[in-house]
Amino acid sequence: MKKLIILFYLILIAYTTDAIPPDYVLKSSGSVTDFVIENDLLYACTDVGIVDIFDINNKKKIKTFSIHKITDFTGNIIPAKIFSIDKLSGINEILLCSQGSSGFRNVYIYKNEKLEKIFDSETDKLMIKRAMYIDENLILIGLLSNEIILYNIKEKKQIYRKHLSTSVFSNFILDESRNLIITCEESGTIRLLNSHKGETIKTYSGQNVDNIYKVDYSSRTFIAAGQDRRVSIYHYNNENNYYIEADFLIYCVGLSSDAKYGAYLANENNDIFVFDTETKKILHKLQGQKSTQTKIYFYDNNTIISSSEDPEILIWKL
């Protein structure tokens, strides 16, 4: 009975919420796995080992560069898929985590038109899922084994290595200050940690009962994308938490900077639903994405940017 009510509710949304097409589309060199934005420049990394840089205002690609190709297990030379990208504001460097040899990962810094390898798949043999800057000297990496490592680039040494749990690691992000780490995992648990010490501040659970694919955080509010078809909302004080059910696996979520609005991949048509996080009311349905989303980002409260497992980056005006 409960499933029928949910289905009826979703059908009602589909027919009563106006569908918004994208305002414009940016075309990348391959399937977009991740992107970051600074000063109206969008840096997108792809599954073909290429980073594209776009000017959002002019709606144009202004630069492209590639990372080193790799040799696969059959001996063929192939492009190295890039899994994550990061950039510090005002610093002309780009941090990349990419496919390496034997299933392990490489981490590069791109600076002055050159690539510097920070972690080597052949020697370090780490299964890295994501890498981000803490500051100019420190980077944080998350491992599939649900470990996080804080690494000093200049001194070339680990500051700490923390094992969070026995569950498989899914993803992590940093807050705007880069002092807080927010992780998610297969158990459905979200962890809030101090980035410089790796100490757990709080854990959040109960709204998701299965793997959380991705998490976002702003204004002391968390949003999580669940394999259990739930998009969950947690608050820093662990009060008034809730979840919204969908009729499809929720691979991707986003949260506005003031946490007033959330967005999530809602169905198998790759529609994005935008909702009011206080009232839970669905406000907009965004249509036009052709593949499963890899990132949903609130550029501001009236502009949403999303990437997916194809070359199109879509920009919507609400």
Q: What is the 3-state secondary structure (H, E, C) of 143-179?
A: ECCCEEEEEECCCCEEEEEEECCCCCEEEEEECCCCC
- The whole-angstrom separation of Cα 49 and Cα 66 is 6
- Tell me which of 211 and 9 has the higher pLDDT: 211
Res 90: pLDDT: 94
Flag whether pLDDT at 4 surpasses 50.
no
272: Cα separation from own chain's centroid = 15
Average pLDDT value for the chain: 94
- Give pLDDT tens digits for 81-108: 999 999 999 999 999 999 998 889 999 9
Delimit the domains of the chain by residue range.
Answer: 207-318
Mean pLDDT for 14-24 is 78
Across residues 179-207, what is the average pLDDT?
A: 97
Q: Are the CB atoms for 286 and 269 separated by under 8 Å?
A: no
Q: Give the residue-averaged pLDDT of 271-285.
A: 97
Checking if the pLDDT of 20 tops 60, the result is: yes
CATH code for residues 207-318: 2.130.10.10
pTM of the model: 0.93
**Taking 80 as the threshold, does the pLDDT of residue 23 lie above it?**
yes
List, in sequence order, every residue forming a beta bridge with 24; answer none if it has no partner: 315
Structure confidence at residue 15 (pLDDT): 43
Confidence of residue 10 (pLDDT cuts 50, 70, 90): very low
- pLDDT-above-90 percentage for the chain: 92
pLDDT tens string 228-266? 999 999 999 999 999 999 989 999 999 999 999 999 999
123-166 pLDDT per residue, tens: 999 999 999 999 999 999 999 999 999 999 999 999 999 999 99
pLDDT at 12 over 70: no
